[in-house]
Amino acid sequence: PSFQAMESEISAAFASGEPEDVLSRAFKLTVTREDICTLQPLGWLNDRIMNFYMGLLVERSKKEGYPAVYAFNTFFYSKLSSTSHKAVKKWTKGVDIFEHDVILVPIHLKIHWTLLVIDLRVKTIKYFDSLGQKGDHICRTVLRYLEEESKEKRNIELTASEWTLRSMGTEEIPQQNNGSDCGVFVCKFADFISRDKPIIFTPEHMPYFRRKMVWEIIHQQLL
């Protein structure tokens, strides 16, 4: 599609119609105009937008040349951290997460989105926060989950000492310069990581990424 056609489509998604109009449906999710409007400048992305975008990344990873990606739902970590493996073991029913290369865990911390990434190929768990906060305890919680999941589903004991856990430093990953872009940062961290690409974007890219995500979600296709 031409750039102009895309631009007018994106503007129309924000401008006309009712909040409850359905603009996209996939991954057992329905995205309404109200959801899409969270992608307007300085909007706070909601769970539906985050989960839908993760769905698009997983879908893309099925193509040749991409690492095999699994993404947890945005509600997974809050459930795990407030209960135990037992409470979330059904979430992976019929799925062996260990058959994937990369596992994405989008995390909602009350009013802030962050991302945890498990790379099973090199046994690392990394925490990405666009406000630079450390998430070492989050990494440890997820490693414990992996140990229990491996024992339960595959009868294989993971060796915790073989794993590297790390919160990414502010000099390693771009940082947001406002109070509302964290969700977009998480989506783009996940986008670059799920292509095995270095994270080279900056806060200046956010307005462009927001508009691009509108088109991608409506068309269920990553550009």
Catalytic residue among 108, 181, 182, 191: 182
**Mean pLDDT, to the nearest integer, of 199-223?**
94
CA atoms within 13 A on the CB side of 96: 8
State the Cα–Cα distance between residues 213 and 223, nearest whole angstrom.
9
The DSSP line for 122-178 is: TTEEEEE-TT----HHHHHHHHHHHHHHHHHHH-----GGG-EEEEPPTTTS---SS
**Mean pLDDT, to the nearest integer, of 76-95?**
89
Categorize the per-residue pLDDT at 186 as very low, low, confident or very high, splitting at 50, 70 and 90.
Answer: very high
Closest C-alpha to 138, from 159, 108, 93:
108
Categorize the per-residue pLDDT at 110 as very low, low, confident or very high, splitting at 50, 70 and 90.
Answer: confident
Categorize the per-residue pLDDT at 57 as very low, low, confident or very high, splitting at 50, 70 and 90.
Answer: very high
Collapse the DSSP code of 121 into the 3-class scheme (helix H, G, I; strand E, B; otherwise coil) and give the result: coil
**Mean pLDDT, to the nearest integer, of 16-37?**
91
Domain encompassing residue 77: 3-219
To the nearest whole number, what is the mean pLDDT of the chain?
93
Total of domains in the chain: 1
**Mean pLDDT, to the nearest integer, of 62-76?**
94
Categorize the per-residue pLDDT at 1 as very low, low, confident or very high, splitting at 50, 70 and 90.
Answer: low
Residue 192 has pLDDT above 90, yes or no: yes
**Mean pLDDT, to the nearest integer, of 23-35?**
93
Model pLDDT, residue 150: 93
Residue 134 has pLDDT above 90, yes or no: yes
Model pLDDT, residue 18: 87
Model pLDDT, residue 75: 94
Model pLDDT, residue 208: 95
Model pLDDT, residue 118: 98
* Catalytic residue list contains 196: no
Catalytic residue among 35, 129, 181, 191: 129
**Mean pLDDT, to the nearest integer, of 143-171?**
93
Q: Cα separations (Å) of 34 from 9, 146, 156, 200?
A: 16, 36, 45, 30
**Mean pLDDT, to the nearest integer, of 84-109?**
92
Q: pTM above the 0.85 mark?
A: yes
Higher pLDDT residue, 186 or 94?
Answer: 186
CATH number for position 177: 3.40.395.10
* Catalytic residue list contains 37: no
Catalytic residue among 112, 119, 205, 219: 112
* Catalytic residue list contains 21: no
